[in-house]
């Protein structure tokens, strides 16, 4: 008996036309039998029977591989869901399949959503950092609520979708961000520049807001990088006004080691998220429109946006779970315009040695809480309907 010089599977891996070898296998089986063909080609009798049967039914063309996809899928994708998946992706290009499925209650799977997007050319590859960060999830989970709040700033003029709107509508250039690490709760403010005075005002208003909501500031740490907006001059002999404001409240200000940017990973993460989910998606007609939408986004982020890194809970879910006695008002921090607030503060102090702000009217205010309330009434006049039983916050 003549045997084939190479095993069947080895030859198939290297063959450009699989039908040629299968034809020889089939003819050998017709002449010498299935068992002999299996031995000669170093394969199984089941394989020989399969190709012999296909060849006898449909000839040479049947020796090609057939698709293994199901001929009649159990659940075809409904056209309405397909249209909805495409509509949402075009409106929210930076959102992934999991978030769109969860937020908009699509009935199809994440895999099916990505398949639809891929077919329409809507999937984009994001740059990934090759450096692996240490996962501190378990350590942070053991921290007390408001044990650490990271504070940082973000440039807005390097976002391509936002830059033309900044120029056209006079939108702020810098975002000031504070993020509570345990829950992920974030507070936002804006200005046209980074400076120590604005950072100090921002942290003072945050501290007053937390104290008003019943947080013991003595147990809090505020962490920043070594930017001049937080520590002042690099060769200063005394603590900055930012540090003094925190220490005056009984809290602690910590700075990260130089170059250790991963220490601020929690706040850097939300900078990427807000760019993907807000600045790249929304369009702003005026400065007021920008502030309204920023407030709405931040309220949604704190109250309703589920975080897969934190067991699919929103910041408010975590706050309520950790301390049920805290009021829901803790998530409702107004989006601040620090330039105007600072001008209001110095105009209230008066004195011949203080330069007047050129575009802010002389409004007499006495404290941070009054500034806070004025900004809330001027910038975000959205009455809230609060359902304390379920923790819901919706515009009235």
- Distance set, CA 352 to CA 10, 11, 178 (Å): 92, 93, 34
CB count within 10 Å of CB 168 equals 11
Enter the DSSP assignment of 389: T
CA gap 377, 152 in Å, rounded: 26
Enter the DSSP assignment of 263: G
CA gap 372, 107 in Å, rounded: 43
Give the list of residues 6+ apart from residue 225 with CB closer than 8 angstroms, or none: 152, 255, 256, 261, 264
- Distance set, CA 63 to CA 3, 47, 52, 146, 322 (Å): 21, 12, 9, 67, 64
Domain positions in the chain are 8-63, 79-119, 139-395
CA gap 186, 178 in Å, rounded: 6
**Whether domain 139-395 has CATH 3.30.365.10:** no
Burial class (CB in 10 A: 0-12, 13-18, 19+), 181: buried
Phi/psi at 176 (nearest 5 deg)? Answer: -100, 130
Indicate the Cα dihedral angle 368, 369, 371, 374, nearest 10°: 180
CA gap 144, 396 in Å, rounded: 33
Instruction: State the number of CA atoms in the 13 A half-sphere of 45 facing the CB.
Output: 5
What one-character-per-residue DSSP string does 70-100 give? Answer: -SS-SSPPPHHHHHHHHHHHHHSTT--HHHH
Phi/psi at 392 (nearest 5 deg)? Answer: -90, 145
Cβ–Cβ under 8 Å, residues 298 and 186: yes
Cβ–Cβ under 8 Å, residues 149 and 222: yes
Q: In DSSP terms, which residues pair with 148 in a beta bridge?
A: 221
CA gap 305, 318 in Å, rounded: 12
Reduced 3-state DSSP string for 188-243: EEEECCCCHHHHHHHHHHHHHHHHHCCCCHHHCEEEECCCHHHHCCCCCCCCCHHH
Per-10-residue mean pLDDT, the chain, length 396: 55 67 89 91 91 90 81 76 90 85 88 89 65 57 86 94 94 96 94 94 94 90 93 88 94 88 85 92 93 94 88 91 92 90 75 38 38 43 34 34
CA gap 322, 330 in Å, rounded: 13
Structure-token pair, residue 39: 């031995």
Please tell me the predicted confidence (pLDDT) of residue 99.
Answer: 84
């Amino acid at each position: 008996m003549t045997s084939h010089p190479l095993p069947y599977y080895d030859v198939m891996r290297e063959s450009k036309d699989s039908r040629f070898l299968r034809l020889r296998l089939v003819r050998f089986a017709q002449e010498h039998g299935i068992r002999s063909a299996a031995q000669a080609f170093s394969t199984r009798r089941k394989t020989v029977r399969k190709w012999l049967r296909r060849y006898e039914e449909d000839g040479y063309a049947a020796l090609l591989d057939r698709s293994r996809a199901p001929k009649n899928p159990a659940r075809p994708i409904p056209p309405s869901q397909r249209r909805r998946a495409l509509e949402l992706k075009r409106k929210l290009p930076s959102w992934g399949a999991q978030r769109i499925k969860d937020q908009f209650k699509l009935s199809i799977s994440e895999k099916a959503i990505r398949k639809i997007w891929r077919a329409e050319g809507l999937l984009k590859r994001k740059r990934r950092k090759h450096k692996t960060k240490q996962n501190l999830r378990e350590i942070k989970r053991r921290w007390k609520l408001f044990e650490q709040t990271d504070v940082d700033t973000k440039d807005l003029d390097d976002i391509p979708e936002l830059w033309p709107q900044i120029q056209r509508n006079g939108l702020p250039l810098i975002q000031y961000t504070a993020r509570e690490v345990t829950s992920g709760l974030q507070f936002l403010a804006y200005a046209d520049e980074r400076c120590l005075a604005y950072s100090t005002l921002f942290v003072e208003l945050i501290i007053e807001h937390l104290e008003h909501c019943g947080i013991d500031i003595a147990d809090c740490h505020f962490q920043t990088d070594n930017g001049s907006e937080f520590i002042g001059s690099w060769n200063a002999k005394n603590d900055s006004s930012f540090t003094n404001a925190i220490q005056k409240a009984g809290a602690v200000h910590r700075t990260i080691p130089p170059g250790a940017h991963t220490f601020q990973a929690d706040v850097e993460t939300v900078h990427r998220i807000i760019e993907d989910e807000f600045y790249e998606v929304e369009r702003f007609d005026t400065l007021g429109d920008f502030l309204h939408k920023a407030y709405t986004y931040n309220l949604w982020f704190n109250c309703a946006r589920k975080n897969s890194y934190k067991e699919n809970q929103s910041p408010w879910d975590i706050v309520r779970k950790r301390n049920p006695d805290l009021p829901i008002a803790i998530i409702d921090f107004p989006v601040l315009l620090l330039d105007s607030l600072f001008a209001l503060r110095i105009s209230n102090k008066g004195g011949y040695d203080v330069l007047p702000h050129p575009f802010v009217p002389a409004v007499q205010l006495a404290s941070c809480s009054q500034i806070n309330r004025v900004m809330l009434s001027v910038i975000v006049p959205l009455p809230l309907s609060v359902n304390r039983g379920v923790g819901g916050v919706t515009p009235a």
